[in-house]
Chains A and B, each alone.
Chain A
Amino acid sequence: MPHDGPSQAKAASAAASRIAAAQETKRQRLRLVIRAAGMLPVLLLLCVGFHFLSDSRFFTGQNLGIVLQQAAVNTVLAAGMTFVILTGGIDLSVGSILAAAAMAGLTVSKLPDVGSLWLPVAVLTGLVFGVINGALIALLRLPPFIVTLGSLTAVRGLARLLGADTTVFNPAIPYAFIGNASLTLIPGVASIPWLSVIALLVILISWLVLRRTVLGVHIYAVGGNESAARLAGIKVWGVLIFVYGVSGLLAGLGGAMQAARLYAANGLQLGQSYELDAITAVILGGTSFVGGIGSVWGTLIGALIIAVLSNGLILTGVSDIWQYVIKGLVIIGAVALDRYRLQGSART
Chain B
Amino acid sequence: MSGPILEMRGVSKFFFGIAALRNVDLTVYAGEIHALMGENGAGKSTLMKILSGAYTPDPGGEIRIEGRPARIDGPLGGRAAGISIIYQELSLAPNLSVAENIYLGREISRTGLLARDLMRAGVGPMLDRLGADFTPQTLVGHLSMGQRQLVEIARALHARSKILIMDEPTTALSAGESERLFALILQLRAEGLAIIYISHRMDEVYALGDRVTVLRDGRLVGSLDKPEIRADTIVRMMVGRDVSSFYKKDHDPQARRGPPVLAAVDIADGRRVKGCSLTVHAGEVVGLAGLIGAGRTELAHLIIGASPMTSGHIEVEGRAVTIRTPGEALDAGIAYLTEDRKALGLFLDMSCLDNINLAVLGRDAKLGYILDRDKARDCANRAFATLGIRAANVGVTAGGLSGGNQQKVLLSRLLATTPKVLILDEPTRGVDVGAKSEIYSIIDNSAKSGTAILVISSDLPEIIGICDRVIVMRAGRIAGEIAQGATSPLNQEDIMAFATGPERLDAS
- Chain A contacts to B: CB under 8 angstroms: 6, 10, 13, 16-17, 19-25, 28, 212-218, 220-221, 224-225, 227-235, 292-293, 346-347
Contact = CB atoms under 8 A, between A and B. Distances in A.
B396 A233 contact: no
B369 A215 contact: yes
A216 B413 CA distance: 18
B292 to A, nearest CB: 20
Interface in B338-357: 338, 343-350, 354, 357
Contacts of A24: 392, 396, 400
B338 A231 contact: yes
A346 B369 contact: no
A233 B349 contact: no
A23 B365 contact: no
6 contacts: A22-B392, A25-B395, A231-B336, A233-B327, A292-B349, A347-B349
A225 B346 CA distance: 8
Contacts of A229: 347
Given A213-B370, A217-B371, A231 B396 contact: no
Given A220-B350, A224-B348, A233 B370 contact: no
A227 B336 CA distance: 14
Closest 7 CB pairs of A and B: A233-B327, A21-B392, A224-B347, A214-B361, A25-B392, A233-B330, A20-B18
Contact of B371 (A25, A213, A234): A213
Given A6-B240, A215-B369, A228 B347 contact: yes
Contact of A217 (B304, B336, B358): B358
B416 to A, nearest CB: 11
Given A224-B349, A230-B306, A346-B397, 8 more contacts: A19-B18, A25-B395, A213-B365, A221-B350, A229-B347, A231-B344, A233-B327, A346-B400
A342 to B, nearest CB: 12
A215 B217 CA distance: 41
A34 B338 CA distance: 34
Contacts of B336: 231
B393 interface: yes
B325 interface: yes
A20 B396 CA distance: 13
A22 B399 CA distance: 17
Contacts of B397: 28, 346
Interface in B381-403: 391-393, 395-397, 399-400
B350 A233 contact: no
Contacts of A233: 325-327, 329-331, 359
Interface of B: 16-19, 217, 240, 304, 306, 325-327, 329-331, 336, 338, 343-350, 354, 357-359, 361-362, 365, 369-371, 391-393, 395-397, 399-400, 413
Contacts of A228: 338, 343-347
Residue picked from A28, A217, A235, most chain B C-beta under 10 Å: A217
Contacts of A216: 371
A226 to B, nearest CB: 10
Nearest to A346: B399
Contacts of B329: 233
A213 B349 CA distance: 18
Nearest to B365: A214
A223 to B, nearest CB: 9
Contacts of A16: 18-19
B405 to A, nearest CB: 12
Contacts of B393: 25
Contacts of A28: 392, 395-397
B343 A232 contact: no
A17 B392 CA distance: 10
Contacts of A21: 391-392
A216 B365 CA distance: 12
B166 to A, nearest CB: 26
B306 A231 contact: yes
A25 B19 CA distance: 18
A221 B396 contact: no
Nearest to A211: B371
A293 B399 CA distance: 13
Given A6-B240, A20-B18, A232 B359 contact: yes
Nearest to A21: B392
A232 B355 CA distance: 10
B408 to A, nearest CB: 16
A231 B359 CA distance: 10
A23 B326 CA distance: 38
A220 B304 CA distance: 23
A259 to B, nearest CB: 32
Contacts of B357: 217
Contacts of B326: 230-233
Contacts of A224: 347-350
B114 to A, nearest CB: 30
A258 B358 CA distance: 39
Nearest to A29: B395
Q: Which of A17, A25, A225, A347 has the most CB of B within 10 A?
A: A225
Nearest to B341: A228
Contacts of A20: 18
A292 B347 contact: yes
Nearest to A14: B217
Nearest to A221: B347
A13 B338 CA distance: 33
Given A16-B18, A213-B370, A227 B359 contact: no
Given A19-B17, A214-B362, A232 B349 contact: no
A231 B340 CA distance: 11
Q: Which of A22, A216, A232, A235 has the most CB of B within 10 A?
A: A232
A235 B330 CA distance: 12
A234 B346 contact: no
Given A20-B18, A214-B365, A346-B399, A225 B240 contact: no
A125 B270 CA distance: 44
Max chain B C-beta neighbours (<10 A), residue from A10, A28, A214:
A214
Contact of B349 (A6, A230, A346): A346
A43 B52 CA distance: 42
Given A24-B400, A28-B395, A231-B336, A293 B344 contact: no
